[in-house]
Amino acid sequence: MAKRSGPHTLNQLVVERLMHYYHLVADQIESHASGHVSSAQIAQLLEMDDTLVRKDLAAIGVRGRPRVGFSTAELMGAIRETLGFNERYRSIIIGAGRLGGAIASYGGFGKYGLDIVALFDSDPARVGQTLGGVAIHPIESLNAIVREHRVHLAVLTVPADAAQGLAELLVGAGIQAIWNFAPRSLVVPSNVFVRHEHISVGLAELAYYLKRSGARP
């Protein structure tokens, strides 16, 4: 049975593991006839320790039943509530190039509560066009649109040399969280959260695996 309590303070690793549990149950387990899943099942499929699974779920108020396990519906509901998927968050994208356009066109963000309301680009030739049904605006209209739509999250998909200046512009406009795809780290005030997506980190993991496996060009 999942018991809801007040806001939880979870570190980044726990949040990431909760997302793995959420996707695993949604994709492979939720449709099972029993309607329940054990920590051992989750741990085996994710190749991790089942004690850690139980600890993570207990941290968000989810308790299993002996020899029965966790209700998949309760587990999914608790994770959605804890991670904020039941809320709606308006977002903007800075950079209407290939990556920005791909993110704007992806239709799967809505189920996590994310609504993209505007794109911005410094190229006058792109302004006025739409990508994924989202209009492209000039950077000069950023403050007005952030205020109008009460935007709290920005996705940054610009070259490295432009990223810091645009991050400062976003902070000044009142943005509270930045999803940064630019290939550089950002310096922002402590009350602004930044998630850096360094694609090179994923490439390093793949290269290391290939090296370990003895793969040759």
27-86 confidence digits (pLDDT tens): 877 556 678 999 999 999 999 999 999 999 999 999 888 888 999 999 999 999 999 999
The architecture of the domain spanning 12-83 is Orthogonal Bundle (1.10)
Give Cα separations from 54 to 106, 124, 171 (angstroms). 33, 53, 38
The architecture of the domain spanning 89-201 is 3-Layer(aba) Sandwich (3.40)
Domain ranges in the chain with CATH number 1.10.10.10:
12-83
Q: What is the pLDDT of residues 121-171, one digit of tens each?
A: 999 999 999 999 999 999 999 999 999 999 999 999 999 999 999 999 999
pTM to 2 decimals? Answer: 0.84
